[in-house]
């Protein structure tokens, strides 16, 4: 592919392949997490009902309920909103090696629950 004879490079482009996180969320139980401005900024996120994906479309501080996570299960977190979403576990475990993991706008990342942490 080229534009007026120059090569085109894709940088920080979303992967849309069949095995990409952006495809997987369409085919598994998913929560679309949002809140109104009247709701508290800190929201508890439950994975009861075999939820495997959380798509944040609004700013919030996400408190992930560890009792609803399944050990060794893989969870996808997506931020399709415009602000950073801080992720933390209610059991004081770590998310991606951090007490608070900042999920950036446009980011999709998978973690495996290895109690008490998402790694």
At 95, give phi and psi (nearest 5°): -120, 115
Residue 8 in domain: no
Q: What are the pLDDT digits (tens) for 51-75? A: 999 999 999 999 999 999 999 999 9
Least Cα distance to 32 among 63, 59, 53, 61 occurs for: 53
Query: Is residue 3, in this structure, part of any structural domain at all?
Result: no
6 falls within a domain? no
| pTM to 2 decimal places | 0.81
- State how far the Cα of 38 lies from the Cα of 94, in Å rounded to an integer: 29
Domain that holds residue 43: 15-118
Give φ, ψ of 108 to 5 degrees: -130, 130
pLDDT score for 108: 92
User: pLDDT by residue (tens digit) across 84-118?
Assistant: 999 999 999 999 999 999 999 999 999 999 999 99
Would 9 be classed as within a structural domain? no
Is residue 85 a part of any domain in this protein? yes
Largest CA distance in the chain: 56
**Does residue 7 fall inside a structural domain?**
no
- Specify if 24 maps to a domain: yes
What's the number of domains the chain is made of?
Answer: 1
pLDDT at 6: 72
Closest CA to 77 of 52, 46, 44: 52
In a domain, 10, yes or no: no
């Amino acid at each position: 592919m080229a534009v007026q004879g120059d090569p085109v490079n894709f940088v920080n482009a979303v992967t849309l392949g069949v095995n990409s996180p952006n495809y997987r969320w369409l085919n598994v139980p998913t929560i679309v997490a949002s809140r109104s401005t009247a709701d508290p900024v800190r929201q508890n996120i439950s994975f009861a009902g075999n939820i495997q994906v959380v798509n944040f479309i609004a700013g919030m501080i996400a408190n992930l309920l560890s009792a609803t996570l399944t050990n060794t299960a893989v969870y996808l977190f997506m931020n399709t909103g415009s602000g950073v979403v801080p992720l933390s576990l209610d059991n004081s475990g770590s998310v991606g090696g951090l007490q608070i993991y900042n999920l950036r706008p446009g980011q999709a990342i998978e973690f495996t629950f290895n109690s008490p942490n998402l790694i």
